[in-house]
Amino acid sequence: MRHSMKSLLILALLLPAVSSPGQIAAGKDKFLGNIIANGYSPPALFDTYWNQVTPENSGKWGSVEGTRNQMNWGSLDKIYEYAKQREIPFRMHTLVWGQQQPGWIASLSREQQLEEVEEWIAEFGDRFPETDFIDVVNEPLHAPPSYMNALGGSGSTGWDWVIRAFELARAACPDAKLHLNDYGILNDNGATTRYLVIVNLLKDRGLIDGICEQGHFFESTSTQTLTSNLNRFAAVGLPVYITEHDVNIANDTSQLNRYKQLFPVFWGHSAVQGVTLWGYIQGQIWRTDSWLINSKGVERPAMEWLKDYVANETAVDAGPEGPGSAPGRFKLHPNSPNPFNPSTRIAFELTEPAQVRIEVFDLKGRTVAVPVNGRTAAGFHEAAWDARDRSGRGLPGGVYVYRMTVADGNGGILPVQSRTMLLLK
C-alpha cells in the first residue's frame, strides 16, 4: 500500500457520508427519514432533506393484495428502488397489522388465513431481499389483526401470535432488521410496561432487532415522561427508532416551540439510531397541521430550526475527555491497530459491573456490527472485531464509528462515548 498513514487519515475525514450532501442528517451517526406516499411520485427535493425512506401505505397488505392472489407491487417497487439507488435505508411498513389488512382475510378459515399470511410474508422476502428494516407487527397493543388466532392467538406467552409473525419474518427476510412498532407507548408508563413484555419475549428468542415508537400525539406529553420511558426502552439493550414522528400544530410559532422541546428528546438519546417523520408537505400528510413545507415549497419555522439543529449537533461524541463522557464510570479507548486490516481490538474499562453495548456504524448511521452486548464485569476489557457485519460478510474499506452505551444499575443510560476507525481495503 503506497499511501502514507497521514494521507489515509486525511482521506477518511473527507469521505462523503451519504449520496446527497444536502440531506439534513448527512454525516451523522443516525438517520433522519421520511415517507413517500402511495400514489405520489417522490417529491423532487426528497433527498435534499431525508436519508431514509418508508412507504406510507404501499407496503401495507391491504394495499398490495386487495384482491386475493392479485399482488400489486408497483408503488412499493418504486419506493424500494428509490432507496436502493440512493443507498439509503428502506423500512418496510408493515407485514402484520389489524388495520388496512385485506378485506377478504376475515372470512377465511384459520388454516387458510395462516397459509395466506405465510405466502404474503414469503413473497415480500423474495421480492425485496435488501430491505433494511421491517415493522413486522404494527400496533400489537392497539390493533391486533382479525387473523390473530391463525398465528397462535395469545397462547402460553400471551403474545404467541406476535412471536409467530416474527418467526415467519426471520425465515423470509434473514438480512433485514426486524422491529416491533406501536403508538402511545412512551407517553404512558403502563403501555411501556406492556410493550416491553412483548419486546423481551421476542428478544429471548433472538427474533427482534429494534424497538420502535411511532411518535404521534406527543403535542402535550411531558418531556420527562418521554425521556423516562425512552430510557426503559434503551435498558433492554436493543436499538430504538422513532418511526412516525409529527407535531400537529397549526400555529407556526407554537409548532416551532414544540419541535424544540420534543425532537431533542429523541435525536439526542444515545439509544435512538434513527428518526422518521410521517410526512412533511402540506396537503400530502396524514395529520393536517403537521406539515413542514407548504404547497409552494416554503419552509415553516420548525423546518428551518430542524435543519439547523441537526446540522449543529455533533455526529460523534468527543470521546472520554469531551462531551458525552462519564468520568470515573467507564472509558472507551481508541481501537488498535487503527487504521486496520483485517481486524482490530476495541478496549474499554468499567469501574463497576454494567450492561454494555458497543456498536459499529457505517457513515449512513446503520449498525453493521455489535462486538459487545451483555452484562460485563468491572475492569479492563478488549473485544476483537474482524470487519465483518452481523451476517458474517466482509465490509468495504472506509470510516466507521464505534459507540459504547452503558446502562447503570437502575436501568438508566449513561452518556454515550464514540470514536472513529479506518478500515483499509
In angstroms, the Cα distances linking 234 to 46, 186, 219, 358 are 30, 12, 23, 13
Cβ pair 87, 126 in contact under 8 A: no
**Phi, psi (5° rounding) for residue 128?**
-130, 65
Beta-bridge mates of residue 420? 401
Q: Are 255 and 291 a contacting pair, CB within 8 Å?
A: no
Is residue 244 part of the annotated active site? The answer reads yes
Task: Dig out the grid coordinates for 345 from the structure.
Answer: 481490538
- DSSP H helices, 156-251, are 160-172, 189-204, 223-235
Active site (annotated) includes residue 167: no
| CA 341 – CA 394 distance, rounded (Å) | 11
Q: Round to whole Å and give the CA distance between 263 and 121.
A: 33
* CB distance 402 to 348 below 8 Å: no
Measured CA to CA in angstroms, residue 139 lies from 90, 184, 191 at distances of: 20, 9, 12
Q: Beta-carbon neighbour count of residue 360 at 10 Å?
A: 23
**For residues 235 and 413, is the Cβ–Cβ distance under 8 A?**
yes
Q: What is the edge-to-edge ordering of all strands in the sheet holding 379-385?
A: 330-332, 344-350, 379-385
CA-CA distance, 54 to 246, in Å (whole number)? 14
Half-sphere exposure of 102 (CA within 13 A, CB side): 21
d(CA 23, CA 49): 4
Which of 139, 167, 213, 359 is the catalytic position? 139
Could you say which of 65, 213, 244, 359 is catalytic? 244
Backbone angles phi, psi at 75, to 5 degrees: -70, -40
Nearest to 334 by CA among 349, 313, 355: 349
Tell me which residue has cell 404512558.
188
Q: Which residues of 125-143 are buried (b: 16+ CB within 10 A; e: fewer)?
A: beebeebbbbbbbbbbeee
Give which of 115, 258, 120, 236 is closest to 185, Cα–Cα.
Answer: 236
Distance CA 226, CA 187 (A): 6
Name the strand (E) or helix (H) holding 401. Answer: strand 398-407
Q: Which residues are catalytic?
A: 139, 244
